[in-house]
């Protein structure tokens, strides 16, 4: 009997000393939820769960923009444009300062939306920024895991005239950089005396650094993204008078052709916050676009499948690497929405 008791004690002691035994998982972070899903087509069920709820994962931004998921670091980068700061968010540590200044490096004091806006990575994984205050497309001169407030200019002018304030951007598979240039980063907007270009353009930076104007007829070009295959590009127009998403095909020289309205939000409820702004397109061609009332979800033909409605304006969104999570910048908040 004593031998059996001694054996039991030895086994129990070994289990208690084993780090793989009785190790409780750390408590999972819980977040408040916000918003609601509006299904307009049964096809939405294959994209997002019917009862999906967005979580508020970070708060207290002045104006959150340009979300970018970095898979290698398991972190989300977010531009706070008025604060001239990029924040990072991780599950473990939450919201932290990542880079400041992010968009304005001049010593002359100014206000307004001077920080970075759209964020993306080039083929080498380097951070590319739409810099409102510096009025240029730039590359951060530092590693993703070791950010430095030093920048290399990729493009700052067209035909000798300074850009307005680059807002959002996307690369094609050939390494050409396409970006929009509305006036929002200028302190006085369209009436700013420092505005040098009469129109609000969409541009392309070729791989040799040359800048080419793609279109000058949009009133407030903003979000920009390619359909799979890089043969069609969608550009959001953040203008209450023309709240449209435009589509352009690209010819063999990657110039815009066959301009058309992909979808117009002109008939949307005027009481809803927001306009066509940032957007992302998944591998199947489904378009997730910020617009009046929240996130509009289109199929590749431009049919609205549904909306994720949030209070306050949504400015942009970004996918996780596996496209199973959508991150949304929603004014002072950043949201996480689980997809299929």
CATH number of the domain bearing residue 165: 2.120.10.30
Give pLDDT, residue 28.
Answer: 72
Q: Is 247 within a domain?
A: yes
Instruction: Specify whether the CB–CB gap between 206 and 171 falls below 8 A.
Output: no
Q: Are residues 41 and 91 in the same domain?
A: no
Q: Is 2 within a domain?
A: no
pTM: 0.91
How many angstroms separate the CA atoms of 47 and 336, rounded?
15
pLDDT in tens, the chain (340 residues): 444 444 433 334 444 455 454 455 556 789 999 999 999 999 999 999 889 999 999 999 999 999 999 999 999 999 999 999 999 999 999 999 999 999 999 999 999 999 999 999 999 999 999 999 999 999 999 999 999 999 999 999 999 999 999 999 999 999 999 999 999 999 999 999 999 999 999 999 999 999 999 999 999 999 999 999 999 999 999 999 999 999 999 999 999 999 999 999 999 999 999 999 999 999 999 999 999 999 999 999 999 999 999 999 999 999 999 999 999 999 999 999 999 9
Using only C-alpha atoms, the chain has a radius of gyration, in whole angstroms, of 23
Domain residues for the domain of 117 are 86-216
Give pLDDT, residue 247.
Answer: 98
Q: Are residues 211 and 254 in the same domain?
A: no
Q: Is 199 within a domain?
A: yes
Q: Are residues 100 and 197 in the same domain?
A: yes
Instruction: Specify whether the CB–CB gap between 286 and 312 falls below 8 A.
Output: no
Q: Are residues 250 and 185 in the same domain?
A: no
Return the SS3 of 88.
strand
Q: Is 308 within a domain?
A: yes
Domain count, the chain: 2
Q: Are residues 204 and 227 in the same domain?
A: no
Instruction: Specify whether the CB–CB gap between 330 and 64 falls below 8 A.
Output: yes
Q: Are residues 204 and 232 in the same domain?
A: no
Q: Is 157 within a domain?
A: yes
Give pLDDT, residue 101.
Answer: 98
Q: Are residues 189 and 237 in the same domain?
A: no
How many angstroms separate the CA atoms of 168 and 197, rounded?
18
Return all residues near 220 (Cβ < 8 A) that are at least 6 apart: 182, 183, 200, 237, 238, 239, 242
Q: Is 227 within a domain?
A: yes
Give pLDDT, residue 27.
Answer: 64
Best CA proximity match to 111, nearest among 140, 137, 81, 86: 81
Q: Which of 182, 216, 250 is where one domain is finished?
A: 216
Q: Is 71 within a domain?
A: no
Q: Are residues 124 and 198 in the same domain?
A: yes
Q: Are residues 207 and 237 in the same domain?
A: no
Give pLDDT, residue 4.
Answer: 46
Q: What is the torsion angle, in degrees rounded to the nearest 10, for the CA atoms of residue 194, residue 315, residue 246 and residue 270? A: -100
Best CA proximity match to 82, nearest among 114, 50, 51, 53: 114
Q: Are residues 231 and 211 in the same domain?
A: no
Q: Is 144 within a domain?
A: yes
Q: How many residues does the chain have?
A: 340
Beta pairing partners, 65: 79
């Amino acid at each position: 009997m004593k031998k059996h008791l001694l054996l039991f004690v030895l086994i129990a002691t070994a289990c208690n000393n084993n780090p793989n035994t009785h190790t409780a998982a750390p408590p999972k972070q819980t977040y408040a939820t916000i918003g609601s899903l509006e299904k307009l087509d049964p096809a939405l069920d294959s994209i997002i769960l019917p009862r999906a709820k967005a979580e508020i994962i970070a708060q207290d931004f002045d104006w959150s923009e340009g979300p970018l998921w970095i898979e290698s670091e398991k972190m989300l980068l977010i531009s706070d444009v008025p604060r001239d700061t990029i924040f990072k968010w991780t599950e473990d540590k939450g919201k932290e300062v990542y880079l400041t200044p992010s968009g304005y490096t001049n010593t002359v004091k100014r206000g307004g939306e001077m920080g970075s806006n759209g964020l993306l990575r080039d083929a080498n994984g380097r951070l590319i920024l739409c810099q409102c205050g510096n009025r240029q497309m730039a590359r951060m001169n530092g590693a993703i895991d070791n950010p430095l407030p030093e920048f290399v200019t990729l493009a700052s002018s067209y035909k000798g005239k300074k850009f307005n304030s680059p807002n959002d951007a996307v690369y094609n598979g050939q390494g050409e950089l396409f970006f929009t240039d509305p006036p929002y980063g200028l302190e006085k907007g369209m009436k700013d005396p420092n505005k040098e270009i009469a129109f609000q353009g969409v541009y392309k930076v070729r791989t040799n650094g040359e800048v080419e104007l793609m279109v000058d007829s949009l009133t407030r070009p903003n979000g920009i993204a390619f359909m799979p295959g890089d043969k069609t590009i969608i550009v959001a127009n953040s203008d209450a008078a023309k709240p449209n998403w435009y589509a352009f095909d690209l010819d063999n020289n990657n110039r815009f052709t066959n301009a058309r309205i992909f979808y117009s939000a002109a008939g949307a409820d005027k009481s809803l916050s927001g306009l066509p702004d940032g957007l992302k397109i998944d591998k199947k061609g489904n378009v997730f676009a910020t617009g009046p009332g929240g996130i509009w979800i289109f199929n590749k033909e431009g049919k609205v499948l549904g909306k994720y409605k949030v209070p306050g304006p949504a400015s942009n969104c970004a996918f996780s690497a596996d496209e199973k999570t959508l991150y949304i910048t929603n004014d002072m908040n950043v949201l996480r929405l689980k997809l299929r």
